[in-house]
Chains A and B, each alone.
Chain A
């Protein structure tokens, strides 16, 4: 597609349920990133995939969070046993070449997660 696509755009769930958020990056982009943005806050880095390398998971806040990227394209961020503090907008970005000092990132519109 022309840009980064994320689904769903909104997700409301009950505390304790698992959720899956999907990201479809720009075709040909080797790097993919997940961020979390709480209301009125900046972007908090979660995880970074670069080609076939092991992902950089250093930003994941707990072991309830995990992500995978299948076939070097689509990525899924999974949050298990959701908590109310997980409520935020989850943004995905892709870039042509992650390991480049220029590394311009292209963002999706995000998934707004609300945990009741």
Chain B
């Protein structure tokens, strides 16, 4: 069956370091992969979209990679700040145009 996996354990890092979050998927061949940020009590907010033929996408301090051979995406936040603390969700589109979300990884950036 199709599955998207994100590390359920919180990632706890020091301010200024690079945070790296992982999204693995099985039994999908997505053309696009998306990353969203979710703060407590709020809905997810779109951050980045990467196509299958793009190895890497950047936006300010954010970088996403997409390896269709490994079936994995990595999400990096460089020079992390306490304000980056949130839950980050990856999402893939299935064949019927529904977005299927991973369960998210919580990031805590210590000042």
For chain B, the count of residues having a C-beta within 8 Å of the partner chain is: 22
Report the contact-size class of chain A (Cβ under 8 Å from the partner). 20 to 34
Q: Is A42 an interface residue (CB 8 A)?
A: yes
User: In the complex, how many angstroms separate the beta carbon of A37 from the nearest chain B beta carbon?
Assistant: 9
B103 and A103 contact, CB distance less than 8 A = no
B41 and A109 contact, CB distance less than 8 A = yes
What is the interface of chain B, defined by CB distance below 8 A to chain A? Answer: 6, 31-32, 34, 41-46, 49, 89, 93, 96-104
Question: Can you sample 22 A-B contacts with CB below 8 Å?
Answer: A33-B98, A33-B99, A42-B89, A42-B102, A43-B44, A45-B98, A45-B99, A56-B96, A59-B98, A91-B43, A99-B97, A101-B32, A103-B93, A103-B97, A104-B46, A104-B49, A105-B99, A107-B42, A107-B45, A108-B43, A110-B42, A110-B43
Q: A45-B98, A56-B98 are in contact. List 14 more A-B contacts (CB 8 A).
A: A4-B43, A42-B104, A50-B97, A91-B43, A91-B44, A101-B31, A102-B32, A103-B93, A103-B99, A107-B43, A107-B44, A108-B43, A109-B43, A110-B42
